[in-house]
Amino acid sequence: VPTMAQGVVEYKEAFGVDPVTNQNVQYFLDRFYMSRISTRMLMNQHTLIFDGSVNPAHPKHIGSIDPTCDVVEVIKDAYETSKMLCEQYYLTSPDMKVTEVNSKNPGQPIQIVYVPSHLYHMLFELFKNAMRATVETHETSTTLPLIKVRVSLGTEDLTIKMSDRGGGVPLRKIERLFSYMYSTAPSPVRVDNGRNAPLAGFGYGLPISRLYAKYFQGDLQLY
């Protein structure tokens, strides 16, 4: 992914960007990365199942699929990782509040059949964006507003809504955030001498996260 991203950056620097090129690049990279996600999913699933061994940490997993994936636990895991990254770069981070609405099994923790690593990837990218926007928007404030997460499970669908007070994005620019040719950050910013994930950079977080959501007929939208 970084190699392809660097290639797009170099292309933009050499030839600039126009709507036709952007559309062609978007179409190609969406298909390329969706194929990559699918191939890795099938390879991992085949390897894990036919290897015959069981991961002691996740004995109930069927390959990479968790039949009782605890959504809130994945949310907390993604938040803590993003929080650590944010504090390394900004020396502060916003807190989080999670609300559960389980209309399918009221009073019970929300559990679904899903690939935890896919859900984690999407949430991690969203938390990074929310934290960066919140900290930069309220850099002169003594306290940071909460990031609010609402998890709702119905009879057919699961919805995770993440709300922050990071200033928002104009409606006309929202779709641009899913473009591989666009990033709100000027260049990749790494912390800890590059050993950790960048807090912002190539602008691939949202478009690839949306592909992860669409892989199992879901979606990722910004409002």
Active-site position among 129, 138, 139, 196 = 129
Residues in contact with 38: Cβ distance below 8 Å, sequence separation at least 6, in sequence order = 215
Residue 187 lies in a domain: yes
For residue 87, indicate whether it is catalytic. Answer: no
CA distance 136 to 130: 10
Residue 41 lies in a domain: yes
More confident residue, 30 or 200: 30
Q: Which two tokens stand for residue 8?
A: 């797009």
Residue 116 lies in a domain: yes
CA distance 114 to 101: 18
| Res. 184 pLDDT band, cuts 50 70 90 | low
Share of the chain above pLDDT 90, in %: 71
The residues facing 147 across adjacent strands are 96
Q: Please report the DSSP string for 150-184 in residue order.
A: EEEE-SS-EEEEEE--S----GGGTGGGG-TT--S
Reply yes or no on whether the pLDDT at 193 is more than 70.
no
Distance of CA 7 to the CA centre of its chain: 22
Active-site position among 128, 138, 156, 173 = 128
Share of the chain above pLDDT 70, in %: 91
Residue 152 lies in a domain: no
**pLDDT at residue 77, as a whole number:** 98
Residue 106 lies in a domain: no
**pLDDT at residue 185, as a whole number:** 57
Mean pLDDT of 179-195: 59
The count of domains in the chain is 1
Residue 104 lies in a domain: no
Contact 190, 204 (CB under 8 A): no
For residue 129, indicate whether it is catalytic. Answer: yes
Residue 167 lies in a domain: no
Reply yes or no on whether the pLDDT at 167 is more than 90.
yes
Segments forming the whole domain that contains residue 18 = 2-92+111-143+173-215
Active-site position among 125, 136, 196, 214 = 125
More confident residue, 95 or 194: 95
Residue 150 lies in a domain: no
Q: Kindly report the CATH number assigned to the domain that includes residue 9.
A: 3.30.565.10
Q: What is the pLDDT of residues 200-219, one digit of tens each?
A: 556 788 999 999 999 999 99
Q: What is the pLDDT of residues 61-90, one digit of tens each?
A: 999 999 999 999 999 999 999 999 999 999
For residue 121, indicate whether it is catalytic. Answer: yes
Reply yes or no on whether the pLDDT at 145 is more than 90.
yes
pTM: 0.88
Q: Across all residues in the chain, what is the average pLDDT?
A: 90
